[in-house]
A and B are shown apart, each in its own frame.
Chain A
């Protein structure tokens, strides 16, 4: 438990340093805003339309595929830790699990979901 106190301290100190630097810069720097200065920068051309553009649906699919893999690989970590003690049978079982995982990837691939279209 005490380990996680130190991790918490790391989060706090890790946040204090950048916050300190940014606050110091904010205090030292001049503040003379005007509408032109604060306008959106797009290489000097005036912005057309809304800035929050619609995003490509493909990102969503990649995120979904990633999510499946991410969750499944987290399941693989305990298997990897205990592999030395469990012997060959556990290895084969793990391999079957990974093969099922890869089958999902192959399915996505065959469906053409990995194409950037």
Chain B
């Protein structure tokens, strides 16, 4: 067991030796080592978060045919640090009439809800913060704190726009949680466990090939959950200025902003874990845990990039359309898919692997095609209601 094979265990054993050598009880030493490990993970995440600001700004600039930050340092890499200094020394205002405790607590909870998600993210085969056997449920529960922070921010700001933005955002977040829950059931069925580590270990074939439609629904629901365009009702700049965070400035706004970016990146990571094999890449993860982390981060970045791509390509959708899309299309579709996956998984159990994969894939494609056909015929009928029936070519009267 060398440092390169299992760095965390080696470091933990080394620290354990020193601490117990000082006469510290073993349980206290264990908790202290856990604390230090978590501090290390979260510090790395915060540094990553700083660079996400740069990535986001650079990518949006490219999408909009601009250059983006390019003055400070090579490729503008030092720009986020300048932003942090600016946020730090900015006057911290609390609007008159605001509920001070709730107002100040909201940005902290917003950031925390994202950071605690990483407790169940498996970084490498030997590196998993906490191997909870209810990992998937934990992700959903931790995500709910984010919803709470938004309604707190909106309510405590003593501002109409903030309140309306928070209402809309929460309506969207709770609505899209239903299809998200349904699609998270699919990896659980395929694995037979809710643990994130077990889900990755099971993916000799990426679950994307077994349930491609599930991955797509998960991505859509994740984007809505993040409150990013095209589902960013809360921030509708043209009507609500900035939504729930309108009254925040300085570092408190910075926390919402950084939390949102890290949340998007985290959901890119969850997309990779649930459907794209997590840290696994043709046995590369067995060579070194550092390579495994690199693979996971790379996949998470691809997911994050997809989310950004959607954000900067599509237009904002009106709230009634968005909720109708969720409740009348995405939720029924997610539950139909769940039933089909459960049934096919049971029927195809014991068949050769190739038949299993082809059967699952085709059943998913069939469900997607059927759903799109239903949506198409419905929209055709709706269009005809507005425009009237298509004009029939007049035949010559005799």
A and B form one complex: yes
- Tally of contacts, chain A with chain B, CB under 8 A: 215
Interface residues of A in 4-37 (CB under 8 A from B): 5-7, 9-11, 13-15, 17-19, 21-22, 24-26, 28-33, 35, 37
Known A-B contacts A81-B192, A98-B339; the reply to A40 vs B247 at CB < 8 A is yes
Q: Does B46 contact A (CB under 8 A)?
A: yes
Further pairs besides A69-B181, A109-B327: 20, Cβ < 8 Å: A3-B130, A3-B132, A5-B31, A7-B116, A9-B38, A13-B35, A14-B111, A14-B115, A22-B108, A25-B88, A26-B251, A28-B89, A29-B89, A29-B91, A38-B93, A41-B95, A59-B170, A66-B174, A66-B178, A83-B189
Q: Return B330 CB to nearest CB of chain A, in Å.
A: 12
Q: Is B310 an interface residue (CB 8 A)?
A: no
- A interface, over-half SS: helix
Residue-by-residue, is B70-106 near A (CB-CB < 8 Å gives 1, otherwise 0)?
0000000000000000011111111111000000100
Cβ of A19 and Cβ of B34 under 8 Å apart? no
On whether the beta carbons of A10 and B38 are closer than 8 Å, the reply is yes
Contact A98 B335 (CB under 8 A): yes
Q: Which residue of A lies closest to B247 (CB)?
A: A41
Is B230 positioned at the interface, with any CB of A under 8 Å from its CB? no
The interface of chain A, by Cβ under 8 A from chain B, is 2-3, 5-7, 9-11, 13-15, 17-19, 21-22, 24-26, 28-33, 35, 37-43, 47, 51-53, 55-56, 59, 62-63, 65-66, 69-70, 73-74, 76-77, 80-85, 87-88, 91, 94-95, 98-99, 101-102, 105, 109, 114-116
In angstroms, Cα B39 to Cα A96, docked, is: 46
Cross-chain contact B342 with A9 (CB below 8 angstroms): no
In the complex, which of the residues B42, B95, B170 contacts A38, with contact meaning CB atoms closer than 8 Å? B95
Which residues in B have some Cβ–Cβ distance to A below 8 Å?
A: 30-31, 34-35, 38-39, 42-43, 46, 87-97, 104, 107-108, 110-112, 115-116, 118-119, 129-132, 134, 136-138, 155, 158-161, 163-164, 167, 170-171, 174-175, 177-178, 181-182, 185, 188-189, 192-194, 241, 246-247, 250-252, 254-255, 319-320, 323-324, 327-328, 331-332, 335, 338-339, 342-343, 345-347, 349
